[in-house]
Amino acid sequence: MAGRIPEEFISEVRTSVNIVDVISQYVSLEKKGKDYIGLCPFHQEKTPSFTVNADKQFFKCFGCGKGGNVFKFLMYKDNLTFPESVERVAEFANIPMPSGYNHAGSTELSPIMRMHQDAVDFYHRVLLTTKAGERGMQYAKKRELEKDILDHFKIGYAPKADNVLITYLRDKGYQDNDLAQSGLFVQARDGQLYDRFRDRLMFPLDNENGKTIGFSGRRISDDKTEAKYMNSPETKIFIKSKVLFHFAEAKKAARSEGHLVLYEGYMDVIAAYKAGVKSGIASMGTSLTDDQIYLLRRITPNIIVNYDGDDPGVHAEERATRMFNKDGNFNLGIVVLPEKLDPDEYVKKYGVDKYREEIDGALTPTDFFLKRLEQKYNLNNDREKITYLDEAVKEIAQVRNPVEQDMYIEKLAQSAGVSAASLKANLAKERRRNNRARNHVRNTQKNFSNYPVDVPPADVPLPGDEDVPAEQTVVEKNPSQTRLLYLFIHSADAQRYMLEGKFKFPNQDFETLAQDWLKYAETHENPQIDGFLDFIPEQLQGIIVDAEMAQMPKDFTIQEINEHVRALQKRSIYFQLNELQNQLQDAKRKKDVQEIVAITQKIIEFKRILG
């Protein structure tokens, strides 16, 4: 049994966790009745269709169709084998793996993933323990990066030499073909590989699961001809637009802090972490992307944006805020630090407590835009003041909540010294104008909807952005068989009645599941449906998940069973009648009188059975 996990242990692990707690690490779940609802982590959607049932310990996305128990979720999400998923859940439950188990059957990381983990360890060890790393350590101390911070963020140092990492990884057995594709090296014209990162403080860039997939190197020399930051190029495992710095750790902190804080740079995230804000993240030195916004929305709707306080930082903050508002599913807060300081500079100048006050006092998006407008105009000049008020009312008109609109109108009237009534009149005009514009777009799309065009209407999402249309579930395709299988599994009386009546499921998959349940129940003292899922082939698991998530009642009557059996018999007869009708048409074309008579007799017999 070495290398195999005992079934009793698998059952212990499964029953020791709540699937809601595990999935909550990846998805922000909201309780709706008995279920928990969130955005699917397996495909992009705008309306949540991902459902978790705590009673049954199953999940199901009614958009893309994926479903299963806690092990299946991790297998889908983190691309794990079944043994690896058991090990991950055991770790979550603080249950040690059995002594007889080894990892021989586990799927290893790809060579490129493994070499990134080795590179992280190498750079970190160079920084902390070697003479070559002293230069990097001096810079780290200058930036007030203590050992606990260096360890948490796995920060390292790439020495000046151009062959240090390549030599180390070759010695560990990596092949040049994999090394060339890793993004860790540059290739000369003669084919030679050289270390990409040299004389830089190294920040690992991790995926959502905390595995390093790239690096960002901070220049520590005074040579301005070199870029301040150098990122890994995009590779098979590193797509910059889909990665957020510190995301794997920040999403854990978001559950206790109640939000995520978005920064411009890595040092800002680190400064915030030192200040006690553990939920900080940063985009990869580029503008925020739609993919990154979707990552955030899956974890929490509560986002605070705190970019640098200089002009480029505030412009970037304005763009990010527009993107979040366009999505429309966020509770957004905006922090603009005084004196054009970035978070790192602010913490050093004013301290931790003052910085936390700035975070707690984050502006709403509308307040942020109104303050930006106020800075653009000379409010002592009546002409500019009128323009400012017109622009401010347009901004307020974008707010959907009437109470919020009223609040901002009152504040604007008070600060500008004008009547709230006049501003409300202008607001009403602006809202009517917006409604007319929306109706015009809608009517234009309707008028041209019958014409074949290549470009989709504005309200139709482009491929990759749309909610995946839900296919029919097993329950919808096979309602009677699904109900009978559910009763066969959950009721000993129903099962006995069906077996005594020699009932067989018409669909072979359903019949296989019924027989598998009998075997499972025979060999397990307390058979549970979530354990049965691990006992059956993967291609049959969806039937069980759909049946369980359909919220069927466990009580039944014999009459109900008979009605479902009768419905299946009728369905079979109708199918055969349809086939016979096709055969009859063929016989008539061939003028085969004997065949016509034989088929007709069969049709009459089936119709007599149907009554």
Do residue 113 and residue 230 come from a single domain?
yes
For residues 77 and 207, give the distance between their C-alpha atoms in angstroms, rounded to a whole number.
Answer: 12
Q: Is position 577 within any domain?
A: yes
- Residue 569 is predicted with a pLDDT of 83
- Residue 432 is predicted with a pLDDT of 86
For residues 303 and 320, give the distance between their C-alpha atoms in angstroms, rounded to a whole number.
Answer: 11
Do residue 126 and residue 220 come from a single domain?
yes
Q: Are 374 and 389 in contact (CB under 8 A)?
A: no
In this structure, the chain runs to a length of 611
Last residue of one domain, picked from the residues 447, 464, 495: 447
- Please give the model's pTM, rounded to 2 decimal places: 0.69
Q: Is position 540 within any domain?
A: yes
Q: Spell out the residues 6+ positions from residue 173 whose beta carbon is closer than 8 angstroms to its own.
A: none
- Residue 497 is predicted with a pLDDT of 94
Do residue 167 and residue 200 come from a single domain?
yes
- Residue 285 is predicted with a pLDDT of 64
Q: Is position 100 within any domain?
A: no
Do residue 116 and residue 216 come from a single domain?
yes
Do residue 254 and residue 169 come from a single domain?
no
Do residue 200 and residue 224 come from a single domain?
yes
For residues 280 and 254, give the distance between their C-alpha atoms in angstroms, rounded to a whole number.
Answer: 9
SS (H, E, C) 226-242: CCCEEECCCCCCCCHHH
Do residue 543 and residue 595 come from a single domain?
no
The dihedral over CA atoms of 161, 163, 164, 166, expressed in degrees to the nearest 10, equals 150
- Residue 170 is predicted with a pLDDT of 96
Do residue 12 and residue 58 come from a single domain?
yes
Condensed to tens digits (0 to 9), the pLDDT of residues 97-109 reads 887 665 544 445 7
Q: Is position 432 within any domain?
A: yes
Check which CATH number belongs to the domain holding 270 and give it.
3.40.1360.10
Last residue of one domain, picked from the residues 521, 539, 556: 556
Q: Is position 460 within any domain?
A: no
Do residue 399 and residue 331 come from a single domain?
no
Do residue 279 and residue 294 come from a single domain?
yes
The dihedral over CA atoms of 536, 541, 547, 549, expressed in degrees to the nearest 10, equals 120
Do residue 51 and residue 120 come from a single domain?
no
For residues 273 and 316, give the distance between their C-alpha atoms in angstroms, rounded to a whole number.
Answer: 22
For residues 378 and 543, give the distance between their C-alpha atoms in angstroms, rounded to a whole number.
Answer: 67
- Distance of CA 559 to CAs 494, 497, 564, Å? 11, 11, 9
Ranges of beta strands (E only) in 131-288 are: 156-158, 185-187, 193-195, 200-206, 212-219, 229-231, 260-263, 280-282
- Residue 287 is predicted with a pLDDT of 78
- Residue 444 is predicted with a pLDDT of 46
Q: Is position 351 within any domain?
A: yes
- Residue 438 is predicted with a pLDDT of 65
CA nearest neighbour of 183 among 160, 212, 153 = 212
Q: Is position 99 within any domain?
A: no
Q: Are 71 and 534 in contact (CB under 8 A)?
A: yes
Query: What are the counts of helices (DSSP H) followed by strands (DSSP E) for the chain?
Result: 27, 15
Do residue 72 and residue 190 come from a single domain?
no
Give the domain extent around 301: 240-363
Positions of the chain with pLDDT under 50: 1-2, 104-107, 444-470
Q: Is position 597 within any domain?
A: yes
Domain tally for the chain? Answer: 6
Last residue of one domain, picked from the residues 346, 363, 380: 363
